[in-house]
């Protein structure tokens, strides 16, 4: 039985191809998995669990619930687009909620799981946004707004984000060496798995004399992308491409 990791699907009715990749993945690949970790940005945006039907999330929730009912362990970690996912959605989908930067054990190896935006320390505006929207008081006040107002806010935030993406350099929007090194050292691990940057790859780092592995998950805009752990081997699938590394290399 395998363990699967996905992130950055950005599912929305406006992008039906991504949903098609997701449904195919859930029915053909995920059905045989023992555990699935969703590391953020499952949805393009999330304005509260009370708006799930309006956001077209019901088919997505049903796919996860089907696997949960069959015994698959499902874990959800919020990203920078779906940080408002709450208990109601987790209950409906069968998710166990994980906070960002959570330690898990894969086989016998401790691993750090995170969405990845906390590693982009040069992106000052995003770090300020991240601090604001993860504040409990801000979330409470936002969720008290009418759904229509929240949708308008989300559209404005998405438009601004897309505009900033065009203006910022690739280096600013990627993780920083110091951010990565700090995360490895703070959690005392040799394996890190995250998404957010949409730059899937397997990286090897030398941190304070220790060899470490950082695996970046891919987005689902044009193809399915996921990480598979099976019998100690990690396989990063990026469409038809597969990159492989041993868990304890």
Residue 11 belongs to a domain with what CATH number? Answer: 3.60.21.10
The per-residue pLDDT for 165 is: 59
Q: How many residues does the chain have?
A: 249
34 sits in which H/E element: strand 33-39
The per-residue pLDDT for 231 is: 87
The per-residue pLDDT for 9 is: 98
The per-residue pLDDT for 215 is: 98
The per-residue pLDDT for 164 is: 63
Per DSSP, the three-state class of 141 is helix
93 belongs to a structural domain: yes
Specify the DSSP class assigned to residue 86. Answer: -
146 belongs to a structural domain: no
27 belongs to a structural domain: yes
Neighbour count for residue 246 (Cβ, 10 Å): 10
| Segments in the chain below pLDDT 50 | none
Into how many domains does the chain fold?
A: 1
The per-residue pLDDT for 163 is: 64
DSSP, residue by residue, 100-164: SSEEEEETTEEEEEE-SGGG-TT-HHHHHHHHHHT-HHHHHHHHTS-HHHHHHHHHHHHHHHHHH
The per-residue pLDDT for 249 is: 53
Q: Cα(101)–Cα(116) distance, rounded to whole angstroms?
A: 9
Q: What angle do CA 128, 130, 136 make, to 5 degrees?
A: 110
Full residue range of the structural domain in which residue 231 is found = 2-121+174-246
pLDDT of 113-144, one tens digit each? 999 999 999 999 999 999 999 999 999 999 99
Neighbour count for residue 172 (Cβ, 10 Å): 16
Q: Cα(49)–Cα(143) distance, rounded to whole angstroms?
A: 9
Cα diameter, the chain: 53
Neighbour count for residue 67 (Cβ, 10 Å): 19
Dihedral angle, C-alpha 171, 132, 139, 85, nearest 10 °: 20
The per-residue pLDDT for 172 is: 65
Which residues are paired to 203 by β-bridges?
A: 214
The per-residue pLDDT for 168 is: 55
> CA 105 → CA 32, 97, 247, distances in Å?
20, 16, 11
The per-residue pLDDT for 170 is: 63
Phi, psi of 8 (to 5 degrees): 60, 40
128 belongs to a structural domain: no
Q: Cα(220)–Cα(10) distance, rounded to whole angstroms?
A: 7
144 belongs to a structural domain: no
């Amino acid at each position: 039985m395998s363990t699967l990791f996905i992130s950055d699907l950005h599912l929305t009715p406006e992008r039906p191809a991504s949903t098609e990749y997701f449904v195919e993945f859930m029915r053909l690949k995920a059905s045989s998995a023992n555990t699935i970790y969703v590391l953020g940005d499952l949805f393009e945006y999330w304005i509260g669990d009370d708006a799930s039907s309006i956001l077209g999330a019901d088919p997505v929730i049903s796919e996860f619930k089907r696997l949960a009912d069959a015994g698959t362990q499902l874990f959800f970690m919020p990203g920078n687009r779906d940080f408002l996912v709450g208990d109601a959605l987790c209950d409906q989908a069968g998710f166990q909620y994980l906070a960002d930067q959570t330690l898990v054990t894969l086989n016998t190896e401790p691993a750090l799981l995170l969405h990845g935006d906390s590693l982009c320390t040069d992106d000052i505006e995003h770090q300020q946004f991240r601090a604001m929207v993860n504040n409990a008081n801000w979330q409470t006040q936002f969720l008290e707004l009418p759904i229509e107002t929240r949708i308008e806010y989300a559209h404005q935030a998405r438009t601004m984000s897309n505009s900033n993406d065009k203006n910022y350099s690739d280096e600013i929007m990627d993780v920083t060496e110091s951010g990565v090194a700090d995360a490895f050292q703070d959690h005392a691990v040799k394996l890190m798995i995250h998404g957010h940057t949409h730059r899937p790859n397997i990286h090897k780092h030398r941190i304070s004399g220790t060899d470490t592995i950082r695996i970046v998950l891919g987005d689902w805009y044009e193809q399915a992308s996921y990480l598979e752990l099976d019998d100690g081997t990690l396989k990063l699938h990026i469409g038809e491409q597969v990159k492989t590394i041993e868990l304890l290399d």
